[in-house]
Amino acid sequence: MRNFAKMMGMAVLVAGLAACDGKTTDAPAADKAAAAATTTAPVSLLDGKVTFSLPQGMSDQSGKLGTQANNMHVYADSTGQKAVIVILGDNTTESLGTLTARLQDQQKARDTNLQVVTNKSIQVNGQTMQQYDSVITSAGQKAYSSIVLGKVDSHLLTLQITLPADNQQQAQADAEAIINTLKVQ
């Protein structure tokens, strides 16, 4: 459980850094959404037992923040505002609901303005997982965070998608687009 807490702390740190970046791009949001919907990059982890697709513009940044040795994979765009973090931690006997409740308590302790958007069970290839979406604020910047927790091949899978929350509906749609490509065996 200590490793889970440490990895979630790292994930929240990366989300905070992405929210604090403050960089903007010149392309309109509609153009970005159309480009992201048409071009994706497949990702495969645990010898193909976990797969998902990244939108255009996101690439593997794992060597900068994590390594294969600690089972943390980081994918981000060039600005660092959009990130997907995958942590393959030790399995746990705790329920996904308990882990999500603990995660929510930790986020509330860090951000009194936390806005919980979704906390629900989802099905991914017949396996029950927990999806927890929130809007977090760091240094006055808002970020949309979508976290999927699940148990895969004796690992606790944590998939966190962090996007700018300037347009919350678009961020939510972009996060769902990534989650909809998630496959587990």
pTM score of the predicted model: 0.77
3-state class (DSSP) for residue 122: strand
The pLDDT assigned to 38 comes to 53
* Geometric angle at alpha carbon 119, from 118 and 122, rounded to 5°: 100
Could you report the average pLDDT of every consecutive run of 10 residues in the chain (185 residues)? 42 42 42 52 91 93 62 90 93 94 94 94 95 91 95 92 95 96 94
Residue 27 burial class via C-beta count within 10 angstroms: exposed 0-12, middle 13-18, buried 19 and up: exposed
Q: What is the pLDDT of residue 153?
A: 83
Domain ranges, ordered by start, for the chain? 2-19+35-184
What fold characterizes domain 2-19+35-184? Protein Transport Mog1p; Chain A (3.40.1000)
On whether the CB atoms of residues 134 and 114 are closer than 8 A, the answer is yes
Q: Facing residues of 130 across strands?
A: 121, 149
Separation between Cα atoms, residue 184 and residue 80, nearest integer Å:
27
